[in-house]
Amino acid sequence: MVGLVSFAGEILCMERYLWTELSPEGVVEDIKRAIRALLAAHPHYRPKMMGATIPGLADPERGLWVEASFSGIRELPFASIMEAELGLPVKIDNDGNACAKAERLFGCCKGADYFIWMTVSNGIGGAIFINGSLYSGSCGNAGEIGHVIVEEGPNARPCKCGHSGCAEMQASGLGIARNYLSLGGKPEIDGEPPNARTIDALARTGDKTAVEAYELEGLYLGRAIGAAVNLINPQKVIIGGGVSLGFDLFWPSLSKTLETHVYRNANPGLVVEPTALGYNAGLLGAAALCFSK
Ligand SMILES: [Zn+2]
């Protein structure tokens, strides 16, 4: 997604792209082409800065795209490449951090100094705000809530981090699809392998297995969120990413799990809710990077 955002957080124009290039050069060329097309179509806007959200690990200080699991990208100096292309200052950060900043600037965390952001899509990422600032950790990797272990035993799936039963393996969009199948769901929905979107739609028709898959989703998310809440004592936990569109489906089970996992008297005003930014969280996140110090 490429777009122009005003300093008030208003999206002036945007285009969605399906990025297909996987080589570092191809990814950079695709992005440059998309930006050139957007600027050519809207010549009356004169952007002052560029922000970019990075899938994978990023080093915002050095402007590096450190690693992407889907491509051979390693230590790519993305910010300086784009600065040379556009003649503008460029800020980058990973997707979760950027979305958390956008939620605080434009979404439901205005005025919240302590909150946890979770992206639940193909993977699970997270970010932590403490004292009104993003908390990065000793190596910049704080907030990896996707690697909190939420399942043990035969149902725990191995994760790329080396452990098994991580939230990312059990409760991401891919996790929902695998849970649905292991609960005895149909191998195809509308002619394609099940995914979070189609299982969501099926659950809304009352399909028992799809409903159970979303109940399991609430249980797994509740275990991860409960552990994080007891540690951080946030005002809010915000859930974004494609799976958050099924928030109402997993909320009863998530809420029940939080009752048994969160130290209630220590977290009396806790709010857990879906992002206020919807599908635009990533684009607004990129813009939010430009507004931060
Ligand atoms: Zn893991």
The pLDDT score that the predictor gives to residue 3 is 96
d(CA 38, CA 247) in angstroms, rounded, equals: 33
* 239 Cα to the center of ligand 1, angstroms: 19
Across the chain, mean pLDDT equals: 94
The pLDDT score that the predictor gives to residue 94 is 87
CB 48 within 8 A of CB 54: no
The pLDDT score that the predictor gives to residue 141 is 83
The pLDDT score that the predictor gives to residue 285 is 95
| Residue 122 pLDDT exceeds 90 | no
* 148 Cα to the center of ligand 1, angstroms: 7
DSSP category for residue 89: -
d(CA 51, CA 273) in angstroms, rounded, equals: 26
**Tokens 């029940």, residue?**
256
* 147 Cα to the center of ligand 1, angstroms: 4
Average pLDDT over residues 142-170: 94
Q: Please report, for residues 156, 201, 267, the alpha-carbon distance to residue 214 in angstroms, rounded to integers and kept in the order given.
A: 17, 11, 25
d(CA 65, CA 92) in angstroms, rounded, equals: 8
* 67 Cα to the center of ligand 1, angstroms: 16
CB 63 within 8 A of CB 77: yes
CB 164 within 8 A of CB 116: no
Q: What angle (nearest 5°) sits at the alpha carbon of residue 151, between those of residues 145 and 155?
A: 135
257 phi and psi angles, rounded to 5 deg:
-65, -40
**Whole-angstrom distance between the N-terminal and C-terminal Cα of the chain?**
24
The pLDDT score that the predictor gives to residue 234 is 98
Which helix (H) or strand (E) segment holds residue 265: the answer is none
Radius of gyration (Cα) for the chain, nearest Å?
19
DSSP category for residue 168: H
What is the pTM (predicted TM-score) of this model?
0.89
Beta bridge partners of 272: 237
SS3 at position 3 = strand
The pLDDT score that the predictor gives to residue 70 is 67
* 224 Cα to the center of ligand 1, angstroms: 12
d(CA 48, CA 91) in angstroms, rounded, equals: 12
* 142 Cα to the center of ligand 1, angstroms: 14
Residues with CB under 5 A from ligand 1 (ion): 147, 159, 161, 166
**Token couple for 113:** 């100094």
Amino acid at 233: N
Average pLDDT over residues 188-209: 96
The pLDDT score that the predictor gives to residue 21 is 76
**Tokens 């813009």, residue?**
287
Q: List the one residue out of 234, 224, 105, 130 whose CA is nearest residue 172.
A: 224
* 42 Cα to the center of ligand 1, angstroms: 43
* 160 Cα to the center of ligand 1, angstroms: 6
Average pLDDT over residues 107-131: 94
Tell me the pLDDT tens digit for each residue of 24-78: 899 999 999 999 999 999 999 999 999 999 887 889 999 999 987 667 789 999 9
**Tokens 């393996």, residue?**
169
* 70 Cα to the center of ligand 1, angstroms: 16
* 191 Cα to the center of ligand 1, angstroms: 31
* 69 Cα to the center of ligand 1, angstroms: 14
Residue % of the chain over a pLDDT of 70: 99
Average pLDDT over residues 12-20: 87
* 250 Cα to the center of ligand 1, angstroms: 22
Residue with the larger pLDDT of the pair 20 and 208: 208
| pLDDT range class, residue 19, cuts 50, 70, 90 | confident
Residue with the larger pLDDT of the pair 75 and 141: 75
Strand runs labelled E in 131-212 = 133-135
The 10 Å Cβ neighbour count of residue 16 is 10
Amino acid at 173: G
Beta bridge partners of 4: 13
| Residue 293 pLDDT exceeds 80 | no
The pLDDT score that the predictor gives to residue 69 is 67
Sign of the C-alpha dihedral computed for residues 250, 256, 257 and 262 taken in this order: positive
